[in-house]
Structure 1
Amino acid sequence: MSASAKTASSSASTVTVSIDPTGFVKLGTQLPTLANILAQAIDELGLPLSETQQRTLLLYLDQLLLWNKAYNLTAITHPEEALIKHVIDCLAIIPHLPPGSLLDIGTGAGLPAVIVAICQPERACTALDSNQKKIRFIRQISSELGLTNMQPIASRIEAHDASYDVVTSRAFASLIDFVEVAQPRLADHGRLCAMKGKAPTDEELQALEAEWQIKTIKLDVPRLHDSRHLIEMSDKNV
């Protein structure tokens, strides 16, 4: 489908939702527009999210922008751009995530860990980052949003010793580097799930395919025109 056809299709299937503005600080008058953009994206992705969960996602965005300067959370400060490039971008991986406990390495502001925790309250999520300030933000926002399934940990991955069914990352530039640090934290029969822009290069695949079963999933992120992929890997030796 062409970009223009996608736009026409999206416009024809507008989804609207009314969000209680109580508690929002930064989104202000933009809240209704942002709520409708989010609702439409959720509909396009086929995610079964309640209005309460949608409100929680928007509250997370609001707090992300509110505390951005204090915690140095993101270079994106425009609310609609942040909604698309952070929240909706992370939502796009949820239909493809294997089940089980999740570790997000180099989580930063909690992307995708917090988004997954909001959308899948039955999943235990651990957000790991060596940056103490960012982990303090995640701890604060998890408490405010009632995310009882979220565990923020300030640590380098090399010093962390638990194992998980799913290990994610949105921050690693090199797929090979991600595999090297994530593999020791992977439970038997677990999956590594790396969020990437472009698909892996032939060189990356050749370096990993002897030991890893690799699945490249092309993501269609609503309203985002950049390339996005989820790379799912399982250890052939397990």
Structure 2
Amino acid sequence: MSAPIDTAWPAQLEAGLQRLEIALDPVTQEGQLAFLGLLQKWNKAYNLTAVRDPSQMVSRQLLDSLAIMPYIHADAVLDVGAGGGLPGIPLALAFPERRFTLLDSNSKKTRFLTQCVLELGLDNVEVIHARAEDVCPQQPFQQITSRAFTALENLVDWCGHMLAQDGQFLAMKGQFPDDELAALPSAWQLADNIELTIPGCGGARHLLIIDRVRTTGG
């Protein structure tokens, strides 16, 4: 946890968690801020995120990721297109009892994620460097998260084989993606749309829960 953190971050995180009505103990909050310090440090060389203003990092990275905590219920979660570790690393820190797999095809990003696992002591996280289409997990995942990854049509096409039959995609979006939903294959459906309000963030935020269309046998 050697990366320095901005002096304003602790108060921003605590206030944001209160507004989200999410409780994290002090040690977990320290872990979240340590991750943010690593993200800021490595971003200079690895281009992990477009957010470079320290005053926006807590809201647009940590709080934006943690806002979906109430919807995480699986014992094992896949974060596809994990990139700079959002939302996977903040969620793994918040849920040490759950297992998280972080998948990305960019070797620089998976090197960063592996470094985070080492420095933050995350024994509940596995990092995989591969294309989603090439991964065949031993057990399918009940939940697969994605944030700024790809269109919904691609998400279900590339990752559907890794999702349990009764599992669900948790797709984090900005504006409500009408066009993407219209292009969704007929075997998939929008199960729920949750509008998220992120403290310190302007603009729309949506969590789309996508699952398979249930067929009834005759």
* TM-score (structure 1 length as normaliser): 0.83
- 1:162-211 CA-to-partner distances (Å, cap 9, x unmatched) read 1211111112341111121121110121111100001120x433443743
Q: State the aligned residue count.
A: 212
Letter paired with 1:205: L
CA distance in 2 between counterparts of 1:173 and 1:129 reads 12
| 2:1 matches 1:26 | no
Letter paired with 1:156: R
Measured after TM superposition, the shift of residue 51 of structure 1 is: 0.5
Paired residue for 2:115, among 140, 163, 166? Answer: 140
1:182–1:192 CA contact under 8 A, matched in 2: no
CA distance in 1 between counterparts of 2:180 and 2:47 reads 31
| 2:185 matches 1:221 | no
- 1:25-70 CA-to-partner distances (Å, cap 9, x unmatched) read 432xx32x21111011111112221010001000000111111123
Matched with 1:236 is 213
1:135–1:152 CA contact under 8 A, matched in 2: yes
| 2:190 matches 1:208 | no
CA distance in 2 between counterparts of 1:84 and 1:186 reads 30
Letter paired with 2:15: Q
CA distance in 1 between counterparts of 2:61 and 2:181 reads 27
Q: Which runs of 5+ in 1 are unaligned?
A: 1-22
CA distance in 2 between counterparts of 1:216 and 1:45 reads 18
* TM-score (structure 2 length as normaliser): 0.91
Matched with 1:41 is 16
CA distance in 1 between counterparts of 2:70 and 2:62 reads 14
1:167–1:193 CA contact under 8 A, matched in 2: yes
CA distance in 1 between counterparts of 2:136 and 2:110 reads 18
Q: Secondary structure at the match of 2:172?
A: strand
CA distance in 1 between counterparts of 2:83 and 2:212 reads 26
1:127–1:150 CA contact under 8 A, matched in 2: yes
Q: Which has the larger radius of gyration?
A: 1
Q: Secondary structure at the match of 1:102?
A: strand
RMSD (Å), alpha carbons: 1.7
CA distance in 2 between counterparts of 1:105 and 1:173 reads 10
With a CA cutoff of 8 Å and minimum separation of 6, indicate the structure with the bigger relative contact order. 2
Measured after TM superposition, the shift of residue 95 of structure 1 is: 1.3
1:100–1:124 CA contact under 8 A, matched in 2: yes
CA distance in 1 between counterparts of 2:73 and 2:183 reads 24
Q: Secondary structure at the match of 2:164?
A: strand
| 2:143 matches 1:166 | yes
Paired residue for 1:96, among 64, 71, 92? Answer: 71
Matched with 1:68 is 43
Segment of structure 1 superposing worse, 112-121 or 210-219:
210-219
1:101–1:124 CA contact under 8 A, matched in 2: yes
Q: Secondary structure at the match of 2:63?
A: helix
